Amino acid sequence: MERTLVIIKPDAVSKKYIGDIIKIFDQYKFDLVALKMIRPSRKNIEEFYSIHKEKEFFKPLVEFMISGPIVVCVWQAQNIVLAVREIIGSTDSKKAKQGTIRNLFGTDGRINAVHASDSVENANKEICFFFEKEEIIEN
């Protein structure tokens, strides 16, 4: 069984898309094993996205991610990391395939509704970044 981290970003939270996004993953019969709404600190987000710290979009990305509450959740299923990446679509919402979450609920390359882990290795790191072991349901 694999797990992946999904973040419902401030744009999608403020537009009331939390339920719609969770419903999409439920329809795939993925198991939701952890979920919380948080207001992350600047330091937290800078650390989470530290791989991008030299990129020109880093500062506005951090501002965006701390502009309002986010929902962090962990989903579990076989081969879920790649499956979720397909379901959310490409980073730029304007280029994301029709019917993907970013196409449906995002706006552009930064304001793109959701984040999802891009590999099993990163998923494990990202899950540990936001959740204590006791916060994750063991099936």
Interacting residues toward ligand CMP by CB under 6 A: 52, 57, 61, 91, 109-110, 112, 115
CA distances from 74 to 42, 43, 55, 62, 108 (A): 22, 22, 27, 22, 24
Cβ atoms within 10 A of the Cβ of 77, count?
A: 17
Distance CA 78, CA 69 (A): 29
Identify which of residues 38 and 137 has a Cβ nearer to ligand CMP in the complex.
38
Smallest gap from residue 139 Cβ to ligand CMP (A):
27
Residues 87 and 99: beta-carbon distance below 8 Å: no
Smallest gap from residue 29 Cβ to ligand CMP (A):
24
Q: Is 52 a catalytic residue?
A: no
Identify which of residues 56 and 134 has a Cβ nearer to ligand CMP in the complex.
56
Cβ atoms within 10 A of the Cβ of 2, count?
A: 17
Identify which of residues 10 and 131 has a Cβ nearer to ligand CMP in the complex.
10
- Catalytic residue, chosen from 3, 9, 102, 115, is 115
Q: Which residues are identified as catalytic?
A: 115
